Copies of this chain bind each other. A is one copy, B any other.
Amino acid sequence: MDDVRFAVLGTGGIGRRTLEVSTEKAGVTPVAACDRHGIAVDRDGLDIEELLAATEGNVASDGGAGAVKQHGELSGVAASAQARPTETPIDDVIAESDDLDAVLIALPNLEHDFIPRVAERFADAGYEGVLVDVLKRSRVIGMLDDREATLREAGITFVCGAGATPGFLTGAAALAAQSFVEVEAVEIWWGVGLKSGYRDNRGTVREDIAHLDGYDIETARELTDEEIEEIVDAHDGVLEFHDMEHADDVLLERAGICDAEDVTVGGVLDVRSDEKPTTTTVRVTGRTFDGERGTNTFELDDDTSMAANVNGPALGYLKAAVRRNRTGDYGVYGPAELMPGF
């Protein structure tokens, strides 16, 4: 496959690390990146080392406590020598989109329909290419489906939920299902030890807190950093989640693998330790054509970080989507639909 030229919207934890991973991957060239107040573009390929150094501490996009290197108007992407300040970063990326094969939308948990609306803006501007997000909310998938005709008409291939879970583990479930003619249960259980702590992973931690009892995405969005730190403290840094509304369920259902209610997602997040508090595992139980019942298992090494398991797959699905896009295969897809058919 020819080189894939891509942009990243958002330079929080996920966006920044995807840029970093891409420097070690063949066949992908980052040519644009933006955050709320800046955009960097280089059609010959961004100097990621310089960009990352300049945006270090930029994870909250608001000049939080970690933003030691820059402040004010020139914090974040704008602090890079390759960048310019802007108040319309998404429009500015859209303006460059003729040159793009793919855009990774790595924006934090804003309104439910924020990412669908961003997709629509690309479609309205005549962008033909791939959009990938790493969202985690089941209900957002439906909002993307509502816009499928618009995206398809524009020539956009949209992959939703292409991080770790949903994403990597959804794909693993889809593959593990191949032994079976009927899938009875998919159990996704993740462990994350955030080496870099809350301050370097604000978007992810906030998104996860929205899954705790008593919180939802709206209330989590309103929390101050201090309130989040308090919640984390109250749990001694270890947050355990059960029955999460994590889009794996609807993504496996739309691929025809099982019903959404047969999918359970949970996990443990430790923001105070390098070590994963539990092993990330996908278990798929089903019935074989010859009348047996079994459980296939996919297990990630405890030494692979959340960042590695989000950003590798995000780029992997992005590449798969570019291949489809180039043959005129447009529309909205989940990760499981980019796997062997069930």
Q: Are B24 and A289 in contact (CB under 8 A)?
A: yes
Chain B residues with CB under 8 A of A312: 178-181, 288-289
Q: How far is the CA of A181 from the CA of B308 in the complex (A)?
A: 9
Q: How far is the CA of A172 from the CA of B316 in the complex (A)?
A: 14
Contact of A296 among B181, B304, B338, B340 (CB under 8 A): B304
Q: How far is the CA of A292 from the CA of B301 in the complex (A)?
A: 10
Chain A residues 5-52 with CB under 8 Å of chain B are 17, 20-21, 24-27
Q: Are B313 and A341 in contact (CB under 8 A)?
A: no
Which residue, A292, A293, A300, A301, has most C-beta atoms of chain B within 10 A? A301
Q: How far is the CA of A329 from the CA of B294 in the complex (A)?
A: 35
Q: How far is the CA of A222 from the CA of B341 in the complex (A)?
A: 37
In the assembled complex, A224 has its CB within 8 A of some CB on chain B: no
Q: Are B296 and A301 in contact (CB under 8 A)?
A: yes
Oligomer copy total? 2
A283-319 to B contact mask, C-beta < 8 Å, 1/0:
0000011101111111111111101110111011111
Q: How far is the CA of A316 from the CA of B304 in the complex (A)?
A: 29
Q: How far is the CA of A21 from the CA of B313 in the complex (A)?
A: 30
Contact of A308 among B25, B290, B300, B340 (CB under 8 A): B290
Surface stretch bound by B, among A71-79, A106-114, A238-246, A320-328:
A320-328
Residue on B nearest A288 in the bound complex, by CB:
B308
Chain B residues with CB under 8 A of A168: 175, 178-179
Q: Are B289 and A21 in contact (CB under 8 A)?
A: yes
Q: Are A303 and B294 in contact (CB under 8 A)?
A: yes
A117-141 to B contact mask, C-beta < 8 Å, 1/0:
0000000000000000000000000
Contacts A327-B327, A327-B328; A320 near B340 (Cβ below 8 A)? yes
Chain B residues with CB under 8 A of A26: 256
In the assembled complex, A334 has its CB within 8 A of some CB on chain B: no
In the assembled complex, A339 has its CB within 8 A of some CB on chain B: yes
Question: Chain B's nearest CB lies how many Å from the CB of A184?
Answer: 12
In the assembled complex, A1 has its CB within 8 A of some CB on chain B: yes
Q: Are A301 and B27 in contact (CB under 8 A)?
A: no
Residue on B nearest A181 in the bound complex, by CB:
B24
Residue on B nearest A329 in the bound complex, by CB:
B327
A223-259 to B contact mask, C-beta < 8 Å, 1/0:
0000000000000000000000000000000001000
Q: How far is the CA of A200 from the CA of B173 in the complex (A)?
A: 31
In the assembled complex, A96 has its CB within 8 A of some CB on chain B: no
In the assembled complex, A99 has its CB within 8 A of some CB on chain B: no
Chain B residues with CB under 8 A of A21: 181, 289
Question: Chain B's nearest CB lies how many Å from the CB of A323?
Answer: 7
Q: Are B341 and A316 in contact (CB under 8 A)?
A: yes
Q: Which residues of A contact B (CB under 8 A)?
A: 1, 17, 20-21, 24-27, 168, 171-172, 175-176, 178-182, 256, 288-290, 292-305, 307-309, 311-313, 315-320, 323-324, 327-329, 335, 338-342
* 6 new A-B contacts at CB < 8 Å, known A290-B308, A293-B303: A21-B289, A175-B298, A179-B308, A292-B304, A317-B340, A328-B328
In the complex, the 8 A-B pairs of residues with the closest C-beta atoms, listed nearest first = A319-B341, A294-B301, A316-B340, A24-B181, A288-B308, A327-B327, A294-B303, A179-B304
